[in-house]
Amino acid sequence: MTGHVWITGAGSGIGEALALAMAEQGWRVMATGRRFEPLAALARRHDAISPWPLDVTDCDAVSSVVSRMPAPDMAILCAGTHAPTPAGSFDAADVRTLVETNLMGTVHCVAALLPGMLERGRGRLVLVASVAGYRGLPTAAGYCAGKAGVIALAESLRLDLAGSGIDIRLVNPGFVDTPLTRKNPFPMPDIISAETAAAAILDGLGHPGFEIAFPRRFAFAMRLLRLMPDRLYFPLIRRITG
């Protein structure tokens, strides 16, 4: 399958790696991100990539860009950010920034795309969340809350759109080497490159199913934690994280 694909958060990390990989596969890639310079540099690396500067937290701007770009056959919604939100210095503005980008940015894109896809009776929406959305983690209340919201959003859309011709997929990465994760002051288990993450996503999209989670060992461990009773989960995480 090829055609037009819209990739958000394409200025760096997983989005950038996906844009290059999909352009190599023959897709026409509309790459969006907040900053024009990284998008322009990306477009210079492959003539199938076109730069579209966009802040996904601006609902009106998202609608405007979607109305002007070629109708996407697929959208991979990667735009996201991260910052610690520890309870000792908990700040509503920090959480709002995370939720506005990680959850509402995805919502804005879905809202802009769905009418056209429903009218055409086809399309694929790929929502990128995180295994951090499975359960709450220390110092990450804002990030975990936003990513948990994306997971629930994808699950609900999958139910609502069954039989519509629109395929909803959920991507839950573990630690991926990106400019954001390089700021983490702690060891990141099973960390993989953005290129490896992009390959895992594309491989998953080539098969039926709903969730694409990777790397496999770390994602499996996080799923087990999701199922663990609270009386075991909280002491275990406190012990692991100190």
> Of these residues, 6, 52, 143, 214, which one is catalytic?
143
CA separation for the pair 242, 238 (Å, rounded): 6
Contacts of 138 (CB under 8 A, 6+ apart): 86, 237, 238, 241
Which ranges of the chain would DSSP assign to H, the alpha helix? 13-25, 36-45, 59-68, 92-99, 105-120, 141-160, 194-205, 216-227, 230-241
For residue 143, indicate whether it is catalytic. yes
CA 135 vs CA 51, 143, 179, 224: distances in Å: 35, 11, 24, 11
Helix, coil or strand: residue 213: strand
CA separation for the pair 237, 242 (Å, rounded): 8
CB atoms within 10 A of CB 42: 24
Active site residues: 143
